[in-house]
Structure 1
Amino acid sequence: MTRSSPTPMISSLRLFGVFRPAPSPAKQVKESQLGSVAAKGSSRKAASPVKRNTAITPRKTASLKHTAAPVGRKQGPESAPVKPERSLEAKSPKKLALEKIPNPPKGVINGWLIFRKQPKLAGLAEHARGEIWRALSESERHKFNSAAAAENQLRAAQFNEWARNVGYQNILTLNHARHLAGRLRVRIPDSMRRPPQKAGAFMVFYKEKYASGEIKIDGPKCSGPSARHAAELWRQLSLDEKAVYEARSKADYEKKLADRI
């Protein structure tokens, strides 16, 4: 029995691609190079990404350069300059005027201020003294009130003397400074103020008729019509009737002068 040759079967397998021919040496070298390049790319992808430092670092400012001290001078601790005392020439005229004005005398007092300074009440609190004062009768308070009235007369004379020596303009300057400092102003005596003006007989007549409502006219601009109405009534008066208002005007002016200190 003779064996058949395998050549036709092998050729048919090669025809259908079952067997693969061996690659050439040049092709093997090229494939090995491509494989190494792919391996490097995969290793780069697998590696963890590098984190960038996003923190903001402050800028370094240039340090101040200390200049060297000049030759012949010693560097020592700096002392505060001594301020020279201000002389009177450096002060403003208003401050100089205030310094020249003496302080006014003390003001008026009452019986309570004298009572609270009694030696027998020295060890008591203020509210305890007040309770004792409120418990006193009018006759018991009378001696303290009389002493306060006598003291006020003496202080009033001292104040008038002070006002005459200081002068009207200096009192105004002192009151302006007291107003800015939040203090009470000094009362200007009436004798130093402008003399009161004498009201005429017609003004006395007008005030009397306006107060009685005889010439009173309502409205935003009532002064003009009411004055004209009063003038018509004044012209209708006789000389004897006008003389009555003249006497009243003179009496009012004398009373104002008497009320001045």
Structure 2
Amino acid sequence: MLRLLGQHVALRVNVTKGPLFTGAVVSQLVTRPSTYARTFLSVTRPLLVEKDTATKRKAPAAKSDTATGDKKTPAKSASKTTAATKEPAKKPVKKPVKAAVKSKAYVPLTRMKISREDRPPTGRRSPFVFFIQEFLKTRVSKSLKDSAEYMSQAGQEWRALSESEKQKYQDASAEDTKRYLRDMIEYVERVDPQVLKAINVQRKAKGQQRWKVPPEAKPKREKRPLSSFMRFLRDPPPEVVAKLEGLGDMTWLKRNSILGEEWRQLSAETKASYTEAAKKEREEWRAQHGSATTSA
């Protein structure tokens, strides 16, 4: 009885996880000690024995960081720029852009628009024009044929006039010439020279005669006093003039080259006469126009 009770207890204690066995098998497992028989290939173990105290293969211990010498990298701190605390990025302030000054586009002279104010004044009228204007006051042409006949008659009557009869028309033309010169002087002073060029370019393209500024209307350039050397070039001594005449015809450049050499070889007394004359003229000019620098 006690033997059966011991077998029953041993079975519950030692073989709790195994399969169910018969009493004889359990008796052998409990009473017979575990033996090992080493063979060449394997080790014999008790069959179907599982004990909590059985030796288990230990897993290799994990190497510590201090043993290998590796330093743990510090864990990254939480990002400071979270959605709650993240500040909005400032937009760069754009500098005010200055408006670029548009340069005037180049316009060819042939296409330049010329206003009525920029056009030259009306030209002077001849004595015959004044006669034609008076002749046509009493005649009305209804066609081109009538106009041609009237012009032919006016030409015949003009040629038949005496000089005394033409005088009033000549006086009217003289007055109109003065008016034209006054208008031209005022026009040349205020108009852009580029406009004058455009007028002539456009007239040339149309096959018309080039428009010229009358000499009386051109701005007069004030003459400045001459230097002593320039006075020598314009009025050399008689002996130098005779030398130049002996050389025959020559270019203006060659003549000035010879005079330059003569000036360098000129005696001090003769050169002083040109210097004194230039100095006197310069002092007179300064007295009228104030102090100004002029070469001696």
TM-score by length of 1: 0.45
Larger radius of gyration: 2
Instruction: Flag the structure with higher helix content.
Output: 1
In the superposition, the TM-score normalised over structure 2's length comes to 0.40
